[in-house]
Amino acid sequence: MTASGPLPRHTATGFPDEASGADARPDAGAPEVPAPAEQGGSLTAAPAGNLSSSPPRNAVTPSSRPPESEPPSDSLIAQPPLLPDSPRGTLLWRVRGMIRALRPHQWVKNLFVLAPVVFAKHLTHPSIIKSAIGAFAIFCLLAGAVYVLNDIVDAKADRVHPVKRYRPIASGRVPIPVAKAMAVGLAVIALGASLLGPPLFAAVAASYYVLNVAYSFRLKKIAYIDVGCIAVFFVLRVLAGGFATRTPLSGFMIACTALLALFLGFGKRRHELASVNASKQRAALDAYTPGALTLALAATGIATIGTYLAYTLDHDTQRFFQNPYLWLTTIHPLFGVIRFLQLVAGRPKAESPTQEILRDTPFVLNLVMWSAEVLVIVYRLRPS
């Protein structure tokens, strides 16, 4: 067919060069190949020649290299950009890629740092709130350092994932040397700031970072150990919040946190196992089976709800809150578990079910209602 009008020409390129983070340049004189329009449509011939039945030697098809922009919304469910894109190749475009590499949308996990303060009825104590916010900020910096490091290590595997290949580091938007500098700089700042708090808080922050480094390089490749590490990360967040504010921690809170994290971790693995090229995306998936993960999801989901219900019915809990009705909020964890299972099974093209829950309206509304009810019950009387 012939082109109906002048269109930009696409040259054949390889994957981004990991050493420099820039796109690999094609060989001199390499023939050009036509590229499909981004949102669908038909192929158009390059002005320089005709479209042949097969691409020339040393050329690659347009789909073999991930573009450095988000995938079309009608083909894949991708994480929307935190900030609108700037023109490709500009400094602002790179900077926004660096911000996206920190995954600020994932920092919501660090709200677990604040859990001890909420359930200890300390939300009206300014000095305690200040310490809790400082701990939250430090863990956000650590999380950013860890996510960048993880994406550096996973860059090759991410490029074969239908959605993760658009991440800033995997696509080459953030050069590898810049990403390494970000990971080191953020870690140094966060760990240095943790030394300003109680020694136990600094120790937990350092443990969190060291374990994450081990996870990125080795532990995430071992089935079940990888999910166990995820649970430990969440428990360390809760411990950090307690130590930073010198707030006593409940055994029920630690148990609920660990079980919930295991449940979410197994759900994520179950979702990944159903994707194309699963073993190429995550080495540990070779050792998982759908049946085993389904059983693990059922066990941890039931245990999470049961432990939360036991906490609300515990005599010491009811005496501390001076309210016997906290158990009524159990309906929300139950709904949350069921809804998460629906997302795992019903959105196979999503990058991660743990990200989908933050964009799922029923799940978010349920979380807001649970939070409001807990605050009403816990703070019904004047906080002690």
The CATH number for 118's domain is 1.10.357
For 104-161, what is each residue's pLDDT tens digit?
Answer: 988 999 999 999 999 998 988 999 999 999 999 999 999 999 999 988 988 887 788 7
pLDDT at 214: 94
Shared-domain flag, residues 280 and 382: yes
In this structure, of 55-59, 284-288, 372-376, the range with the lowest mean pLDDT score is 55-59
For 307-362, what is each residue's pLDDT tens digit?
Answer: 999 999 999 999 998 889 899 999 999 999 999 999 998 887 777 888 888 889 99
Cα separation, 347 vs 62, whole angstroms: 26
Shared-domain flag, residues 115 and 181: yes
In this structure, of 21-30, 197-206, 254-263, 312-321, the range with the lowest mean pLDDT score is 21-30
User: Is pLDDT at 77 greater than 90 in this prediction?
Assistant: no
Greater confidence (280 vs 52) lies with: 280
What integer is the mean pLDDT of 190-209? Answer: 96
The sign of the CA dihedral 209, 363, 360, 347 is: positive
Q: Read off the tokens for 74.
A: 């009608």
Taking phi over 0 as left and psi of -120 to 50 as alpha, with beta for the rest, 32 belongs to beta
Residue where a domain terminates, one of 216, 233, 268: 216
Q: Which of 146, 283, 292, 311 is nearest to 216 (CA)?
A: 146
User: Is pLDDT at 186 greater than 70 in this prediction?
Assistant: yes
- Within-domain flag for 24: no
H/E stretch holding 52 reads: none
User: Is pLDDT at 79 greater than 70 in this prediction?
Assistant: no
115, 234 Cβ separation under 8 angstroms = no
For 168-180, what is each residue's pLDDT tens digit?
Answer: 888 888 889 999 9
pLDDT at 25: 38
Confidence of residue 244 (pLDDT cuts 50, 70, 90): very high
Output b/e per residue, 311-321; b: 16+ Cβ within 10 A. Answer: bbebeebeeeb
pLDDT > 70: percent of the chain: 74
Rg (the chain; Cα; Å): 24
Q: What is the dihedral of CA 299, 305, 306, 310, to 10 degrees?
A: 150
Cα 37 to chain centroid distance, Å, stands at: 30
Shared-domain flag, residues 352 and 273: yes
Q: Share the mean pLDDT of the chain.
A: 79
pLDDT at 216: 86
In the numeric block, the tokens 């501390």 are attached to: 320
What integer is the mean pLDDT of 279-285? Answer: 71
pLDDT at 39: 39
Greater confidence (81 vs 121) lies with: 121
Cα separation, 352 vs 269, whole angstroms: 9
pLDDT at 52: 42
Greater confidence (44 vs 234) lies with: 234
Shared-domain flag, residues 317 and 211: no
Shared-domain flag, residues 56 and 98: no
- Within-domain flag for 235: no
Shared-domain flag, residues 262 and 341: yes
User: Is pLDDT at 30 greater than 80 in this prediction?
Assistant: no
For the full predicted model, state whether its pTM sits above 0.75. no
Shared-domain flag, residues 256 and 334: yes
- Within-domain flag for 134: yes
User: Is pLDDT at 305 greater than 60 in this prediction?
Assistant: yes
Greater confidence (210 vs 51) lies with: 210
Shared-domain flag, residues 277 and 359: yes
Shared-domain flag, residues 202 and 295: no
- Within-domain flag for 312: yes
285, 269 Cβ separation under 8 angstroms = yes
Cα separation, 343 vs 268, whole angstroms: 10
Shared-domain flag, residues 165 and 263: no
pLDDT at 105: 86
- Within-domain flag for 239: no
- Within-domain flag for 121: yes
How far is CA 140 from each of CA 90, 110, 263, rounded to the nearest angstrom? Answer: 27, 7, 23
User: What domain range is 313 assigned to?
Assistant: 250-384
Shared-domain flag, residues 180 and 265: no
- Within-domain flag for 200: yes
Q: How many domains does the chain have?
A: 3
User: Is pLDDT at 8 greater than 60 in this prediction?
Assistant: no
Cα separation, 264 vs 267, whole angstroms: 5
- Within-domain flag for 79: no
How far is CA 73 from each of CA 69, 163, 184, rounded to the nearest angstrom? Answer: 12, 11, 34
Shared-domain flag, residues 378 and 269: yes
What integer is the mean pLDDT of 191-210? Answer: 96
